[in-house]
């Protein structure tokens, strides 16, 4: 019988801690629903004690997710645990995930504590968590740099207190495949009642070994892998969900395990996350990168023509990548547009379809063909309306040194027009926006990319702007890159304005 590996997805918690990867509540809900369609076993929705916004995000995800388990993270601190339990109250399948560091370097320098006190806190944390939530995961932070016999002791304490899952994470991406396999084998063989719990592996990619380490941990006895879509996460990222799932599927002879992942949803999930966060997928990224199934050399192309298995160890279709995209045009109707959006993972209301259709027609008038990636960008830009106070109606720029911009914003039925000069066209236009809105920000991050090939490609802009010492992100899309950049700036400024009003 093939062993089942549970997939614990932490895209919305650890993944969101990637610089520039923060998502608002609506975006997190949208991604959570896609993760459920992807078939993950557990969705780690966030860290409820971190902020009111984080608490509300976990609470709403816990309410809308029906099949997958939803986890809330908590330090081994009573207030954290109680807050997480409250956020999970209306969840069908809640998981309370509590953790404490176990390596001597963390115990001494971060916790300023002792091994004995950490054992006490672990026992108290798991005991309290188990009273409040039916399923509890305990994590020994920095396990791979911890003393193995100490790991055995704290594992036994967590199991005795009621833990259902014990996670031994490689928090800093330090270990190697041989070492992590040995760690799991040692702890599982030595810890009393180890057979009563699921052991989990959470790996970071600082040395580029996260996927290899996760697979080695499974060979060592772990039966849950903690990972993220596209491998996003702190520093160099986490174990990439798509890589470990397809490694087990493609090399089933070496890794005779199965998961509940619907692999044809992998590419949709990857693209949705990239569009929501603005984090580009590297062209050479395994499974989901643009070049993952591209063949340029003559030798490779000849082999592919003869038999695609010569140079492809899996098919694009197996991960939901179409060999050819559906191209939409201005004669496409609302029903077809709504159906295509649903196929891409977006469930839209009738009102949202109407709004999207208007934007779609405007884009189709500007360019002959609208591709899937164009559509993804339009949906993300259209759905980020919860903060819309001002809307960009028109922008015109001239000159370069200095540049001059004229900007018209709409607020309800009112029009506001301002001009400004700046170091470049985007700078000048953003200064005009600030004059209209009465705000002053500092551009912290700016990126723009073409959603599709061609001179008439839809440009997707992402900005990070600091207002009053706090970072706000914005997204914009247009065939005109300056217009896209200004839309993104207005989007970020709207979020700041909405927060000031609340």
Assigned CATH class of 391-501: alpha beta
Which backbone phi and psi does 153 adopt, to 5 degrees? -60, -50
pTM: 0.75
Q: Which residues contact 42 (CB under 8 A, 6 or more apart)?
A: 6, 7, 8, 9, 68, 69, 70, 71, 95, 224
- Counting residues of the chain whose pLDDT is more than 70, the rounded percentage is 89
Confidence of residue 384 (pLDDT cuts 50, 70, 90): low
Q: Which residues contact 128 (CB under 8 A, 6 or more apart)?
A: 78, 81, 82
Query: Rounded CA gap, 394 and 324, in Å?
Result: 35
Query: Rounded CA gap, 425 and 422, in Å?
Result: 7
Question: In the predicted model, is pLDDT for residue 305 greater than 50?
Answer: no
Which stretch of 85-99, 366-380, 398-412, 466-480 has the lowest confidence by average pLDDT?
Answer: 366-380
Structural domain spans, the chain? 3-277, 334-383, 391-501
Which stretch of 45-54, 377-386, 420-429 has the lowest confidence by average pLDDT?
Answer: 377-386
Most confident of 72-76, 301-305, 447-451: 72-76
Give the fold, CATH level 3, of 3-277: TIM Barrel (3.20.20)
Query: Rounded CA gap, 475 and 439, in Å?
Result: 18
Give the chain's largest Cα–Cα span: 74
Dihedral of the CA atoms 156, 161, 165, 168 (nearest 10)? -40
pLDDT recorded at residue 368: 63
pLDDT recorded at residue 323: 57
For all residues of the chain together, what is the average pLDDT?
88
* Mean pLDDT score, 281-287: 90
Q: Which residues contact 251 (CB under 8 A, 6 or more apart)?
A: none
The token duo for 36 is: 């459920």
Q: Do domains 3-277 and 391-501 have the same CATH topology?
A: no
**Nearest in space to 390 (alpha carbons), one of 411, 418, 414, 416:** 411
Residue with tokens 């019988």: 1
**Nearest in space to 277 (alpha carbons), one of 26, 472, 23:** 23
Q: pLDDT: is 359 or 311 the higher one?
A: 359
Question: In the predicted model, is pLDDT for residue 301 greater than 50?
Answer: no
């Amino acid at each position: 019988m093939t062993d089942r590996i549970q997939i614990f997805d932490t895209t919305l918690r650890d993944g969101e801690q990637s610089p520039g990867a923060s998502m608002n509540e609506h975006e997190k809900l949208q991604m959570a629903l896609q993760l459920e369609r992807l078939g993950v076993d557990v969705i780690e929705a966030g860290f409820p004690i971190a902020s009111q916004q984080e608490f509300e995000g976990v609470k709403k995800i816990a309410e809308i997710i029906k099949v997958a388990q939803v986890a809330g993270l908590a330090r081994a601190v009573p207030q954290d645990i109680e807050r997480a339990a409250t956020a999970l109250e209306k969840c069908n399948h809640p998981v309370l995930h509590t953790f404490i560091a176990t390596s001597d370097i963390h115990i001494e320098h971060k916790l300023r504590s002792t091994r004995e006190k950490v054992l006490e806190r672990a026992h108290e944390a798991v005991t309290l968590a188990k009273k409040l939530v039916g399923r509890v995961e305990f994590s020994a932070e920095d396990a791979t740099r911890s003393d193995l016999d100490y790991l055995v002791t704290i594992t036994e304490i967590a199991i005795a207190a009621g833990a259902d899952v014990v996670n031994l994470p490689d928090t800093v991406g330090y270990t190697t495949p041989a070492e992590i396999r040995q760690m799991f084998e040692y702890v599982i063989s030595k810890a009393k009642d180890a057979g009563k719990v699921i052991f989990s592996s959470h790996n970071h990619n600082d040395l580029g070994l996260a996927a290899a380490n996760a697979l080695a941990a499974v060979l060592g006895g772990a039966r849950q892998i903690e990972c993220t879509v596209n491998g996003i996460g702190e520093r160099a990222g986490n174990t990439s969900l798509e890589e470990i799932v397809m490694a087990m599927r493609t090399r089933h002879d070496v890794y005779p395990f199965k998961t509940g992942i619907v692999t044809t949803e992998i590419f949709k999930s990857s693209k949705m996350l990239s569009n929501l966060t603005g984090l580009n997928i590297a062209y050479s990224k395994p499974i989901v990168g643009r070049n993952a199934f591209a063949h340029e050399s003559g030798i490779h192309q000849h082999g592919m023509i003869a038999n695609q298995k010569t140079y492809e160890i899996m098919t694009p279709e197996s991960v939901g990548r179409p060999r050819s995209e559906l191209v939409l045009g201005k004669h496409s109707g609302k029903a077809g547009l709504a159906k295509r959006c649903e196929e891409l993972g977006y469930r839209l209301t009738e009102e949202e379809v109407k709004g999207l259709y208007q934007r779609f027609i405007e884009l189709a008038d500007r360019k002959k063909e609208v591709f899937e990636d164009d559509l993804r960008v339009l949906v993300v830009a259209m759905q980020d309306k919860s903060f819309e106070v001002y809307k960009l109606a028109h922008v015109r720029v001239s000159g370069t040194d200095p540049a001059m911009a004229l900007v018209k914003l709409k607020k309800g039925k009112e029009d506001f027009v301002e001009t400004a000069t700046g170091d470049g066209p985007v700078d000048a236009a953003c200064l005009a926006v600030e004059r209209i809105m009465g705000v002053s920000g500092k551009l912290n991050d700016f990126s723009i990319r073409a959603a599709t090939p061609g001179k008439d490609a839809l440009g997707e802009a992402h900005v990070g702007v600091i207002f009053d010492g706090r970072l706000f992100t914005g997204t914009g899309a247009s065939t005109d890159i300056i217009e896209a950049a200004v839309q993104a700036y207005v989007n970020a400024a709207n979020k700041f304005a909405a927060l000031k009003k609340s």
